[in-house]
Amino acid sequence: MAIAIGTVILKLEGEALMNEPSLPANATISHYRILSRIGAGGMGEVYLAQDTKLGRNVALKILPAAVAANPERMRRLVQEAKAAAALNHPNIAHIYEIGEAAGVNFIAMEFIDGQTLGRYIHGERVGLPKLLRHLQHVAEGLAKAHAAGIVHRDLKPGCCNAATA
């Protein structure tokens, strides 16, 4: 099971959905073609996008203009993304790129095809042993991130994505 968490990104899915996505389907940012919005939260919107150079799907996190306009917040974000990109753990989504195109700042990362841990727990009868296994995966990914000095800051079942495969 792969788990995604926030900017460290134990395999990410966006948080509370906003009404209207900022980017329409088929919009292009750098070499990423937007397919659909996954979610949105305080740190921006997350889209399912296709990397047109490598032909793979990615999660593309679009940063809010307020974050991009604040040099200190951008510095911290870039520093955290670099640290997270150096992590190699099966329960942490891989960061492929942090970039800017046409004034839009983004983070491209591994797309985890699955559902949030919250939806998983509430959507089916989950036995305690299976639930504990999923939570162990979250804890293992967090331990790896914490060992590298990265703190998640917004851990909740809706931020942890469980892969279906």
pLDDT single digits (tens) 27-39: 999 999 999 998 8
User: Average pLDDT of the chain?
Assistant: 82
Distance CA 131, CA 134 (A): 5
pLDDT single digits (tens) 104-132: 999 999 999 988 888 878 877 777 888 88
> Which amino acid is residue 52, in one-letter code?
T
Q: Mean of the pLDDT values across residues 82-108?
A: 91
Domain boundary assignment for the chain = 28-163
> Which amino acid is residue 92, in one-letter code?
I
| Residues in a beta bridge with 36 | 48
Q: Quote the pTM value.
A: 0.80
Q: Could you tell me if residue 59 is left (phi over 0), alpha (psi between -120 and 50 degrees) or otherwise beta?
A: beta
* Residue with tokens 């951008």, as numbered in its chain: 74
Which CATH code, of 1.10.510.10, 2.40.50.140, 1.10.580.10, 1.10.10.60, is assigned to 28-163?
1.10.510.10
Distance CA 46, CA 51 (A): 14
Please give the residue that has the higher pLDDT: either 5 or 97: 97
* Cβ neighbours of 119 (radius 10 Å): 15
Q: What are phi and psi of 66, to 5 degrees?
A: -65, -35
Which residues form the catalytic set? Answer: 154
